[in-house]
A = this chain, B = another copy of it.
């Protein structure tokens, strides 16, 4: 079994373990925070899609606006912004990228509280932070991130739940490992069938709305890095503002559309995309959402409130990427053109 396949399968257990290990520690950190008017979040790659989740989930569940950090202002230009009122957060699997650490260090310099999410508690990033959340029990060995991504989502959801002071949010999060396991069980065989149907495909679009914009962005990255398929991630609204012109000539359009408030609009978009001659590929727990998708349907199992659904909605897409890798005879642990797991940018 490849590292990638193993790590995809391990995600429910890793999330449960992270919640066990980190909940009470993070509760104390949250309780001790000074007044905060916004969060500045630094991340790259998959971790940046977890940061995208925080933009939605922290505002939605805890009222906190999130500004994505701009590492180059700290490294290249030497003009960091004023951070009065900010909680400074950095997210990095390896904790090694100097640009991400530079943002956290600037937060310290300006006397602001700092929080790091990383898989390596001995990394430079972890050493620079007031509080560190360790993501997984073991190192991630696949070049393409999966289990660190979902543990990042889980840790960010944990922060939102604690900050909201709503125990029901915490209880819902504690049920997510089970929902993730149910989704992995439900999507395995369908992912193989969809991969076969997409055998000749060289371009894809992924679309999500609201809380699942991160899902679309993350799945687009998985398909680019594992398969070298030119895949663009969009929000439903931004897709409609011009780029929907691409939806034609059988282009597969992967739609992350779990049930919830964003679902109806995503169903409408699936219909528009089909009417334009593109091929919707639907990820959903609502089975009727698969109608008209010509069998290109990736089911989610279990139930999740919408604000936590990115934890389950990403799984069928990860399994699809893995199945497409196998179908094309590629090596899931050695993507072409990506020799290194750790990328250091400045």
A contacts, CB < 8 Å to B: 37-38, 40, 44-46, 48, 55-56, 59-61, 63-68, 70-73, 76-77, 79-86, 99, 144, 202-203, 205, 209-210, 221, 224-225, 228, 230-232, 236-238, 240-248, 251, 261-262, 265, 276, 335-338, 343, 345
Residue pair B245, A336 in contact (C-beta under 8 Å): yes
| A151 to B55 Cα, complex, angstroms | 28
Q: A45-B242, A228-B246, A242-B46 are in contact. Are A59 and B70 (CB under 8 A)?
A: yes
Residue pair B76, A244 in contact (C-beta under 8 Å): no
Specify which of B37, B60, B80, B225 is in contact with A79 (CB 8 Å cutoff).
B60
Copies in the complex: 2
Q: A44-B238, A82-B63 are in contact. Are A56 and B37 (CB under 8 A)?
A: no
Question: How many Å from the CB of A278 to the closest CB on chain B?
Answer: 10
Closest chain B residue, CB of each to CB of A251 = B230
Residue pair A79, B55 in contact (C-beta under 8 Å): no
B residues in contact with A210, CB < 8 Å: 72-73, 76-77
Residue pair A209, B38 in contact (C-beta under 8 Å): no
Question: How many Å from the CB of A139 to the closest CB on chain B?
Answer: 18
Specify which of B63, B86, B203 is in contact with A230 (CB 8 Å cutoff).
B203
Closest chain B residue, CB of each to CB of A59 = B81
Question: How many Å from the CB of A329 to the closest CB on chain B?
Answer: 16
Q: A67-B66, A245-B335 are in contact. Are A85 and B228 (CB under 8 A)?
A: no
| A83 to B248 Cα, complex, angstroms | 41
Q: A45-B242, A241-B343, A248-B336 are in contact. Are A70 and B55 (CB under 8 A)?
A: yes
Residue pair A245, B224 in contact (C-beta under 8 Å): yes
Question: How many Å from the CB of A42 to the closest CB on chain B?
Answer: 11
B residues in contact with A244, CB < 8 Å: 337-338
Specify which of B65, B202, B242, B248 is in contact with A38 (CB 8 Å cutoff).
B65
B residues in contact with A251, CB < 8 Å: 230
| A248 to B210 Cα, complex, angstroms | 33
Residue pair A242, B225 in contact (C-beta under 8 Å): yes
B residues in contact with A86, CB < 8 Å: 37-38, 65
Residue pair A243, B225 in contact (C-beta under 8 Å): yes
Residue pair B225, A72 in contact (C-beta under 8 Å): no
Specify which of B205, B241, B262, B337 is in contact with A44 (CB 8 Å cutoff).
B241
B residues in contact with A68, CB < 8 Å: 55, 67-68
Question: How many Å from the CB of A263 to the closest CB on chain B?
Answer: 10
Residue pair A81, B65 in contact (C-beta under 8 Å): yes
Q: A38-B38, A44-B241, A343-B240 are in contact. Are A79 and B65 (CB under 8 A)?
A: no
Residue pair A65, B63 in contact (C-beta under 8 Å): no
Residue pair A230, B232 in contact (C-beta under 8 Å): yes
B residues in contact with A67, CB < 8 Å: 38, 55, 65-68
Specify which of B48, B80, B265, B276 is in contact with A337 (CB 8 Å cutoff).
B276
Closest chain B residue, CB of each to CB of A248 = B337
Closest chain B residue, CB of each to CB of A277 = B337
Specify which of B76, B247, B248 is in contact with A261 (CB 8 Å cutoff).
B76
Question: How many Å from the CB of A60 to the closest CB on chain B?
Answer: 5
Question: How many Å from the CB of A118 to the closest CB on chain B?
Answer: 15
B residues in contact with A238, CB < 8 Å: 44-45, 48
B residues in contact with A73, CB < 8 Å: 56, 59-60, 210
Residue of A77, A240, A336 ringed by the most chain B CB atoms within 10 A? A77
